[in-house]
Structure 1
Amino acid sequence: MDLQQAVKYRILNLCNERQITLNKLATLSGMPQSTLNSLIDGTSKNPTLLTILRICLGLNIELKDFFDDKVFFDLDDE
């Protein structure tokens, strides 16, 4: 799995756990839904750390908690 796929999986998983939509996450994160959509559909291959930080703030989690998931272990570097 590459980083883009791992970020996508993690975002979707966190939304599922909290029973919120991407639209709701965008609102909570203060960013356009199109930004999240581009992460999920693969249009954005390299999400910025600032974007991930905003997602974390919207979910009320720390950045370290976002990356503390098995999906980020053994990433491909392609």
Structure 2
Amino acid sequence: MDYSNINGDQWLAANIPQHSSDDPFKVRQCNELIDQIISLLQQRYSKNPPVWVHRAIDQLLMQAEHFSALVEEVNS
């Protein structure tokens, strides 16, 4: 999916799951995007990444866990 022409704030408002009743497909899309962002950060900063890169990846991973928990909550 090409996100280059999308306003980030608009995309987030439309696509980031906010609660457990949100669409599990939307959650999977967000987790796929998080995986892509992490991959890009790791590729870009493969040698001696700055501290902010480690923190950003940690935050993204925590958000992905949160999204996955939303899916589990919907499915239970």
Could you tell me the TM-score, scaled by structure 1's length?
0.33
Could you tell me the TM-score, scaled by structure 2's length?
0.33
Larger Rg: 2
Query: Which structure: greater helix fraction?
Result: 2
